[in-house]
Structure 1
Amino acid sequence: MTPTPLPRIGMQPVERGDAARNRALLLDAAATLVAERGVDALTMDAVACRAGVGKGTVFRRFGSRSGLMQALLDHTERELQQQFMFGPPPLGPGAPPIDRLVAFGRARIAMMEVQGDVLRAAENAPEFRFGGPARSLGIMHVISLLREAGVDGDLELLASALLAPLEASLVLHQVRDLGMTPARLTEGWEHLVRRVTRC
């Protein structure tokens, strides 16, 4: 059975080379700020300073802080999407579907260490929490892997249930407030997947 094709998130017109480089420079600066000081440090001024450009450049590029955060989230999700669509196994094609599903969860949990606060902020925006492109893509990818593995039942509901433990707000609460380690979370994710799919 041919897997359902997945949509590409955040599709945009092709940019000129210098525009694409400037965008990547700004997003890398934003990601570094979040990694070093948390999402509260992600201001237009701070990104401009870190990237070595004027604040007007950041505003022209992203419009607002929320636009910058969405672009950063999209940037992060694109990287994950590239890995699970075209990267090496077990996250990418070539591994058994349940192994790929386990690797997908592990990759999402690993993302939280750097992008968790940005993901949490996006989850808290009503328009993105359940209907955003990143979540829709994740649901479709999980459904595709479950179908490929021969799992039956309501795959859409099952995919939503499986993705719930990977929400940034929950993962960050478990790590920061409850003291759980990322290793414990990834082991728990694999256990859940194999129990639910009986694989």
Structure 2
Amino acid sequence: MKQHERRQQSSDKLINACLELASEQGVSALTFDNIGLRAGYSRNLAFQKFGSKGGLLEAVINHLHEVMSERRRRQDLDSLPGLDALLLYCDVHIAALDKTSEMKAYFILMSEAIAAMSDMREQFVGSHLRSATELMRIIRLGREDGSIRKDVNVEMAARLIGTQLIGISSQYLIEPSFNLKKARKELHQVIRAAYAAGQQGDASRKSTAAVSGR
């Protein structure tokens, strides 16, 4: 293995160790000693790699964005009409909550940053802006291909969908028995009713209005 490959491998192992510890034991377990031990390295290497907990968090956030982007790519998101791509984006997020510990760890770290009023909150602001930028790109594509209404406020729609995903994630973190399958189905209906163009959107909005009027 070449030197740069070894460096990348050690970084990946340390990041994964951080995510595992956060998911299993919470933020209090995230010392460089524990992270290095879990990854099979020394504390010194963990500190040398990231320099501080802020540096470690930045690496973790970048890693998770890359992982989620790759999962969406494997699902051929960019080959879909914009509305379907928007729904798939949500599905990939919810599947990660259900099947991996990565997203759980992310929201544990975010909750701690908020509770402690720490400077690390800004890193989550940046992370959510990255997600919103991708959602805006998808919504714009949907407006262009006719699957999403032309009059949709792109930025606000992206922010609201992101907020719904944060809410689902937080609820699942608080209540592990929270039914993600039902949440996914309901979120699909909400997005279709709010943003779908043409007859599909009209039918979804009428259905939602009928349910709300009961």
TM-score class, shorter-chain normalisation, is 0.7 to 0.9
- How far does residue 172 in structure 1 lie from its aligned partner after superposition? 4.2
CA contact (8 A) 1:101 1:145 kept: yes
Q: Per-residue displacement from partner, 1:95-137 (whole Å, max 9, x unpaired)?
A: 222111111112223334523342453473431343x0x3223
- How far does residue 17 in structure 1 lie from its aligned partner after superposition? 1.8
- How far does residue 175 in structure 1 lie from its aligned partner after superposition? 2.1
Query: 2:182 aligned to 177, 184, 199, which one?
Result: 184
Match of 1:42 in 2: 30
- 5+ residue gaps, structure 1, are 1-14
TM-score of the two chains, using structure 2 as the length reference: 0.72
For 2:107 and 2:58, locate their aligned partners in 1 and report how far apart those are by CA, in whole Å. 9
Match of 2:54 in 1: 66
Q: Which structure is richer in relative contact order (CA contacts within 8 A, separation 6 or more)?
A: 1
CA contact (8 A) 2:27 2:108 kept: no
Residue 56 in 1 paired to residue 54 in 2? no
Match of 1:98 in 2: 83
CA contact (8 A) 2:20 2:105 kept: no
Larger Rg: 2
Match of 2:6 in 1: 18
Change (3 A) 1:175 1:46: same
- How far does residue 184 in structure 1 lie from its aligned partner after superposition? 2.3
Residue 149 in 1 paired to residue 134 in 2? no
RMSD: 2.3
Q: Share of identical aligned residues, percent? A: 19
SS at match of 1:149: helix
Change (3 A) 1:67 1:137: same
Structure (1 or 2) with the greater helix fraction: 2
Q: Per-residue displacement from partner, 1:48-107 (whole Å, max 9, x unpaired)?
A: 1111211011011111223223312221111112233x3233xx2212221111111122
> Aligned letter for 2:83?
I
Residue 77 in 1 paired to residue 76 in 2? no
TM-score of the two chains, using structure 1 as the length reference: 0.77
For 1:119 and 1:40, locate their aligned partners in 2 and report how far apart those are by CA, in whole Å. 14
